[in-house]
Amino acid sequence: MSHGDGSRFDRISDAALMLRYKEGDVDAFNGLYQRYSDLKGYISFLVKSESLAEDIFQETWIRIIKASDRYKETATFKTYFFTIMHRLIVDHFRKSSTRNEQSIYDQQLTDSDSENEDPFSNISMNPEKTPEKSVQLLECLQYLKTALSSLPLEQRESLLLKLETSMSYEEIGEVLDVGREAVKSRLRYAVKKLKLSVPEECYGD
């Protein structure tokens, strides 16, 4: 998620841009879209498929557009956006699981196996780092990717939301429709599992 890209909407909140769009200002909508346009990695990693990530991303925006007439600034737009996205993801896995008579979590692993799309395949060498450091970083990111992939969906989504959006535990709970303590519990388990899979030196200090 990016903010402050030097556009004329820099100082305007997401909710204000949404309200402007409600009044018919399509430029304001475009400004809002640009703030959430870099979520390909996040969604791809969540659903483990780039094509599915694209569908979910598009459907999220279409739902927001269609509901814009009724939009009210009752929650932050960020929470609103990720709640819609979360519901679409849950719906997708629920439908898939019904079709295949598999659990949601089995299904997401099947997706991962069946589609050999690697959301991190474009990780490149960082020119600011020495070759050794860059190689080490790539290895660490590979460890991170493997560790995140092995997390159950609800733990993975909780952790990715925290890492991607810096939302509070309450906000994440709102998005996932669970309590604050449930969010913390999921995060604790997730971080504990990551520690087992990602070497300590990968965390820098």
Closest by CA to 86, choosing from 1, 173, 163, 151, is 173
Binds other proteins by CB under 8 A, chosen from 7, 51, 58, 103: 58
Closest by CA to 168, choosing from 76, 49, 64, 46, is 76
Binds other proteins by CB under 8 A, chosen from 13, 68, 76, 97: 68
Least distance in Å: CB of 30 to other proteins? 6
Of 14 and 107, the one with the shorter C-beta distance to other proteins is 14
Retrieve residue 142's tokens.
């590979």
Least distance in Å: CB of 13 to other proteins? 18
Of 153 and 161, the one with the shorter C-beta distance to other proteins is 161
Binds other proteins by CB under 8 A, chosen from 13, 16, 37, 104: 37
**Sequence-ordered list of residues with C-beta below 8 angstroms from that of 45, at least 6 positions apart, any chain:** 119, 120, 145, 148, 149, 156, 160
CB 25: neighbour CB atoms within 10 A? 14
Binds other proteins by CB under 8 A, chosen from 16, 104, 144, 182: 144
Of 40 and 94, the one with the shorter C-beta distance to other proteins is 40
Burial 41-56 (b: 16+ CB within 10 A, else e): bbbbbbbbbbebbeeb
- CB-based contact 69:48 (threshold 8 Å): no
- Contact set with other proteins (CB under 8 A): 2, 21, 24-26, 29-30, 33, 37-41, 44, 54, 57-58, 61-62, 65-66, 68-69, 119-120, 122-124, 126, 137, 140-141, 144, 159, 162-164, 169, 184, 187-188, 191, 194-195, 198, 202-204
